[in-house]
């Protein structure tokens, strides 16, 4: 169920609900996912993983494994040229090929339980499984640090001997090397005004510490990749990924071969949520294929997904906010430390940029720390770094409202950041619907319905995301003789973006969405395109599609001019019709005449503009807590999003509801439970507790539409911001219900009973 708060828009297609083009194949099971690749002569790979959280690799002996009948190839780190020829540059952490290589197969050290060491390809998976058990690895076990607090101690064992802290005042700069050796890989800082003066002006100051645990993205499909390295030196990879061009570039670097010799074919993807932005299997499968001369497929087990791929960070933060008795924030300080896992690169930058984003604060300091420890290298998860950052800030805002006896939404509106204010990271805030969304929350029936009964509480929270995107996308439009149009892009479709791109083309060309045939193709068949992440595809790739569509109109106008013996600039195009004086052709009519007027019309465009602009989301959540068991029931949940312009409202609802469900799971149930030696004790979907339909109410979504001026149709990204507010909203609701302020997630029955002094 959803409602929409919007302005009238003069669009024919945008805002409607066409059927998605890939729907039939998805619901009938015909869609091909990563594990569905099947090639003649294909063999199967398995990976040996470390049983230790931290150890030097003294030796690897593969002779016994090689002797097994049916074993075709074995690979270790020495087969990766990049690992043998260069040192890791810790100042470059984002998609650093050397770091990806060391995470894909350990060279000298294992850095977490599950770290890949070697791989075998054999005639069938059973033989490969038997062979990896016979690979003999001699370890020198080292002291391990399993969490960030231990890792940050002065006398903590170092994961990397040459790792020094890099200080940044800009998330995207190279930064300054401090020369200090520690497990603190990075320190990012944003500040403005005079924070000491601001706290002196405050009538009330609240300061608290907050902790969250490691959580998994929860995608259904395990990683699966197939590689075929043929005798001519051409490598083809079929893989489930969020970025086929990222896979191509990292594989080329790791294997020291030209990108031009690699073709990456993206399969359908069974969820990613950021976790499949980096690959783990492709270089391994590639070398096994080269050695064996046969195609090789590797599919991770669910246990391998938990142990050998990237979840999101566990975090510790300390937040302090000062405010006047009249409800105006005078100063804020937010210290945050995020676990990066075995290699640098946590999403602490995303948290630091946005935690104070909904508010106009003149005096603040944000310190963010990126900390390595003996866990899996973390990866992105919807709005990376931002849910846990907002958890701290929004919980303190709620407590301030309680102590000052100010309505929580009124307090937020008093301090709301508006267009023209500066974001915490420095840039001027463009037009975004923070105020409109907060007013919608304040005036919503849910917020104004009394919550009756004992042990019940209501929580609210707002989440801000300064979406970057801007990595570039390419698109090609081919006009068919029957007036339909094929769209070719390299943007992996995670959530219905084939349809959103088709709708934008249809809007420009005056066609119906059903007249557009969108497809996602391999890296040889389209221009370079960044990965699907940052909620950028409908926006960034959409702009490329729009540019190409306008070029189609330009070229078809030239063809019409030939037929009418007119000047191209005199041809008018409106609502799918070309006209000149009293003559006209519909788009479809003119399409049938293209071959007679110069040949087919094929237009390509790329978009590299700098980012989507910010997005804001909010939650109102009611809970009931059983004081005897600590169990929390979600009674009602209303989720708000400023979508800019809702391209397809049903899909916006789906993104909002899905992200909200994930955020509720993060708040109440989900965590990796590590034993003292670094083993994940709950590395199955039976033991890792994600919410089911029995745990959730119907989630109502409210779509606020404040058009994004950076896009011709006002589009914003909607896939990530809705996961931010559930963490603090649930925590605020539970705190209000039990009258104890909860500052650690997840809010398990144990933690609640402990807070109530019942255990």
Domain ranges of the chain: 40-143+234-293, 470-607
Give the list of residues 6+ apart from residue 162 with CB closer than 8 angstroms, or none.
87, 88, 90, 181
R_g (Cα) of the chain, nearest Å? 27
Residue 6 has a pLDDT of 62
Whether the bond into 512 is cis, omega within 30 of 0: no
Taking a C-beta distance cutoff of 8 angstroms, is the pair 515, 571 a contact? no
* Domain 40-143+234-293 coded CATH 3.90.1170.50: yes
pLDDT tens string 479-509: 999 999 999 999 999 999 999 999 999 999 9
Taking a C-beta distance cutoff of 8 angstroms, is the pair 750, 639 a contact? no
Taking a C-beta distance cutoff of 8 angstroms, is the pair 360, 397 a contact? no
Residue 144 has a pLDDT of 98
Taking a C-beta distance cutoff of 8 angstroms, is the pair 278, 376 a contact? no
**Most distant CA pair in the chain: distance in Å?**
88
Return the closest-CA partner of residue 723 out of 465, 420, 474, 476: 465
Residue 296 has a pLDDT of 98
Rounded to whole angstroms, the Cα distance separating 685 from 220 reads 10
Backbone angles phi, psi at 182, to 5 degrees: -170, -175
Residue 466 has a pLDDT of 87
Q: How would you class 133 by CB atoms within 10 Å of its CB: exposed for 0-12, middle for 13-18, buried for 19 or more?
A: exposed
Fold held by 470-607: Aldehyde Oxidoreductase; domain 4 (3.30.365)
Taking a C-beta distance cutoff of 8 angstroms, is the pair 416, 642 a contact? no
Residue 608 has a pLDDT of 78
Rounded to whole angstroms, the Cα distance separating 412 from 345 reads 32
Residue 106 has a pLDDT of 97
Give the list of residues 6+ apart from residue 239 with CB closer than 8 angstroms, or none.
34, 224, 225, 226, 247, 264, 265, 266, 267, 279, 281, 282
Rounded to whole angstroms, the Cα distance separating 454 from 450 reads 13
Q: Where are the alpha helices (DSSP H) in 47-123?
A: 63-66, 81-85, 97-104
Residue 172 has a pLDDT of 65
pLDDT tens string 575-617: 999 999 999 999 999 999 999 999 999 999 998 776 788 999 9
Residue 611 has a pLDDT of 73
**Positions of the chain with pLDDT lower than 50, given as ranges:** none
- In angstroms, the first-to-last Cα distance of the chain is 40
* 64: number of Cβ within 10 Å: 12
């Amino acid at each position: 169920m959803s409602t929409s708060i919007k302005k009238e828009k003069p669009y024919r297609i945008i805002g409607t609900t066409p059927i998605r083009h890939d729907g039939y194949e998805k619901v009938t099971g015909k869609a091909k996912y990563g594990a569905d690749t099947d090639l003649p002569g294909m063999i199967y790979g398995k990976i040996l993983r470390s049983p230790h959280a931290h150890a030097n690799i003294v030796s690897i002996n593969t002779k016994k494994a090689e002797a097994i009948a049916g074993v075709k190839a074995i690979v270790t780190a020495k087969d990766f040229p990049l690992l043998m020829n260069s040192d890791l540059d810790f100042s470059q952490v984002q998609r650093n090929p050397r770091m990806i290589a060391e995470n894909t197969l350990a060279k000298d050290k294992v850095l977490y339980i599950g770290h890949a060491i070697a791989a075998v390809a054999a005639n069938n998976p059973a033989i490969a499984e038997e062979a990896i058990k016979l690979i003999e690895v001699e370890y020198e076990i080292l002291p391990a640090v399993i969490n960030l607090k231990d890792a940050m101690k002065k006398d903590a064992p170092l994961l990397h001997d040459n790792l020094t802290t890099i200080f940044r005042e800009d998330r995207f700069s190279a930064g300054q090397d401090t020369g200090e050796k520690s497990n603190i890989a990075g320190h990012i800082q944003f500040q403005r005004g005079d924070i000491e003066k601001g706290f002196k002006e405050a009538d009330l100051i609240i300061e608290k510490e907050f902790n969250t645990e490691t959580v998994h993205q929860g995608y259904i499909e395990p990683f699966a990749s197939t590689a075929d390295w043929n005798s001519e030196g051409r490598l083809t990879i079929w893989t489930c990924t969020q970025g086929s061009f990222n896979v191509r570039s990292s594989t080329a670097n790791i294997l020291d071969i030209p990108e031009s010799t690699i073709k990456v074919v993206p399969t359908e993807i069974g969820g990613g949520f950021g976790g499949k932005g980096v690959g783990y299997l492709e270089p391994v499968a590639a070398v096994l294929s080269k050695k064996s001369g046969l195609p090789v497929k590797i599919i991770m087990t669910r246990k391998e997904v938990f142990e050998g791929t990237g979840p999101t960070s566990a975090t510790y933060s300390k937040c302090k906010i000062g405010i006047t008795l009249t409800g105006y924030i005078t100063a804020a300080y937010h210290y945050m430390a995020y676990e990066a896992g075995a290699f640098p690169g946590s999403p602490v930058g995303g948290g630091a940029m946005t935690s104070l984003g909904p508010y106009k604060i003149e005096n603040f300091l944000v310190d963010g720390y990126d900390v390595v420890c003996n866990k899996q290298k973390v990866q992105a998860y919807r709005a990376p770094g931002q849910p846990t950052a907002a958890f701290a800030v929004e919980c303190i805002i709620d407590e301030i409202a309680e102590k000052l006896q100010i309505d929580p939404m009124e307090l937020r509106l008093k301090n709301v950041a508006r267009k023209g204010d500066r974001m915490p990271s420095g840039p001027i805030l463009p037009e975004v619907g923070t105020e409109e969304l907060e007013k919608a929350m304040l005036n919503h029936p849910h917020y104004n319905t009394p919550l009756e009964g004992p042990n019940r509480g209501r929580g609210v929270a707002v989440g801000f995301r300064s979406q970057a995107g801007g990595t570039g996308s390419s698109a090609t439009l081919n006009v068919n003789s029957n007036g339909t149009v094929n769209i070719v892009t390299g943007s992996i479709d995670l959530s219905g973006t084939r349809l959103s791109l088709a709708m934008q083309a249809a809007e420009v060309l005056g066609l119906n969405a059903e007249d557009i045939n969108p497809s996602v193709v391999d890296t040889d068949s389209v221009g370079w395109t960044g990965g699907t992440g940052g909620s950028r595809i409908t926006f960034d790739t959409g702009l490329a599609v729009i540019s190409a569509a306008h070029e189609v109109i330009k070229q078809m106008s030239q063809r019409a001019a030939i037929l009418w013996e007119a000047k191209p600039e005199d041809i008018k195009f409106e609502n799918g019709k070309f006209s000149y004086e009293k003559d006209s052709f519909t788009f479809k009519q003119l399409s049938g005449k293209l071959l007679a007027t110069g040949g087919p019309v094929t237009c390509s465009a790329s978009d590299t503009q700098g980012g989507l602009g910010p997005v804001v989301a909010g939650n109102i959540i009611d809970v009931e807590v059983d004081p005897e068991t600590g169990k929390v029931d979600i009674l009602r949940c209303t989720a708000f999003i400023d979508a800019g312009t809702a391209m397809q409202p049903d899909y916006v609802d789906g993104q909002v509801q899905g992200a909200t469900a994930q955020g509720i799971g993060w708040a109440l149930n989900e965590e990796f439970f590590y034993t003292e030696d670094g083993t994940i004790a709950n590395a199955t979907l039976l033991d890792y507790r994600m919410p089911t339909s029995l745990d959730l109410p119907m989630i109502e979504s409210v779509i606020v539409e404040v058009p994004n001026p950076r896009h011709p149709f006002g589009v914003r990204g909607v896939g990530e911001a809705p996961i931010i507010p559930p963490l603090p909203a649930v925590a605020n609701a539970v705190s209000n219900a039990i009258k104890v302020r909860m500052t650690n997630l997840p809010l398990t029955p144990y933690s609640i009973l402990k807070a109530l002094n019942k255990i």
